[in-house]
């Protein structure tokens, strides 16, 4: 009886130990998953600030000053003929650590162009940007966000990615700095791409709104990144 009892106790102890080990091993992946999820949530709270239609000798330097004040880099989708007219501004944008990408040569609706006209719009702009930055853009932002199957296939054939946006405060319509700021801040989410303008007209309202946008997003815990440089 004693021997049988001892065997039962031993069996129970072994079972208990195995149960504890099983609990430990099943809990470890759960803890690791929680840490990974938390890390992903933090790193995904990123916003991409982008500017179209520059460079402008008046407004682009003002935008750069605000970006530098907050330690933020942005992506500038530049029009080739503006780069040709103001090459030193493009060089300054790039040397400040920002990304300079392609926004066509003269801002047409790319859907309405022939294949050769499309290629010219993109390649001529590439040449200008590369001449003043040493970098060939890898992204194309079609003017007006106008995209169809032909634009997609031609862009891919030229080795580029199409880069659009997710937040458009319509700053080009000049609704007022406070309206621009409010529209951006009410729609930004992790991973948002914000469309603003530093060229193509009077962009004083955009410049005035930018400081509040960056300050508030930073206070909300956002970080900032650029498209490939």
3-state SS assignment for residue 101:
strand
Distance CA(100)–CA(19), nearest Å, equals: 59
Q: Which one-letter DSSP state was computed for residue 172?
A: G
Distance CA(13)–CA(10), nearest Å, equals: 5
In the CATH scheme, what is the homologous superfamily, with its name and number, of domain 46-225? Answer: Glycoside hydrolase/deacetylase (3.20.20.370)
Pairing relationship of beta strands 75-78 and 223-225 according to DSSP bridges: unpaired
- Give the confidence band of 35 by pLDDT, cuts at 50, 70, 90: very low
Distance CA(53)–CA(76), nearest Å, equals: 8
Q: Which residues are catalytic?
A: 52, 197
In whole angstroms, how far apart are CA 140 and each of 38, 86, 127, 154, 178?
A: 33, 20, 14, 11, 30
Residue 27: pLDDT above 70? Answer: no
Angle at which helix 177-187 crosses helix 204-219, to 10 degrees, equals 40
Residue 1: pLDDT above 60? Answer: no
Distance CA(49)–CA(14), nearest Å, equals: 60
Average pLDDT over residues 45-68: 98
Tell me the whole-structure pTM to 2 decimals.
0.81
Query: How buried is residue 77: exposed, middle or buried, by Cβ count under 10 Å (0-12/13-18/19+)?
Result: buried
pLDDT in tens, 163-179: 999 999 999 999 999 99
Q: Over pLDDT 70: what percentage of the chain?
A: 81
């Amino acid at each position: 009886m004693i021997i049988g009892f001892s065997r039962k106790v031993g069996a129970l102890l072994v079972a208990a130990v195995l149960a504890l080990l099983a609990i430990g091993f099943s809990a470890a992946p759960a803890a690791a998953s929680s840490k990974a999820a938390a890390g992903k949530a933090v790193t995904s709270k990123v916003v991409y600030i982008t500017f179209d239609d520059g460079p402008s000798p008046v407004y682009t330097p003002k935008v750069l000053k605000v970006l530098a004040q907050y330690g933020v880099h942005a992506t500038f989708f530049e029009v080739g003929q503006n780069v040709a007219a103001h090459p030193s501004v493009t060089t300054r944008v790039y040397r400040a650590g920002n990304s300079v990408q392609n926004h066509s040569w003269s801002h047409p609706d790319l859907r309405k162009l022939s294949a050769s006209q499309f290629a010219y719009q993109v390649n001529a702009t590439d040449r200008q940007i590369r001449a003043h930055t040493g970098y060939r853009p890898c992204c194309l932002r079609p003017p007006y966000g106008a995209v169809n199957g032909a634009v997609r296939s031609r862009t891919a054939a030229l080795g580029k990615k199409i880069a659009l946006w997710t937040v458009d405060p319509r700053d080009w319509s000049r609704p007022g700095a406070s309206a621009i700021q409010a529209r951006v801040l009410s729609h930004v989410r992790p991973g948002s791409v914000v469309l603003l303008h530093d060229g193509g007209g009077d962009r004083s309202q955009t410049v005035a709104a930018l400081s509040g946008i960056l300050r508030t997003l930073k206070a909300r815990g956002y970080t900032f990144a650029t498209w490939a440089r």
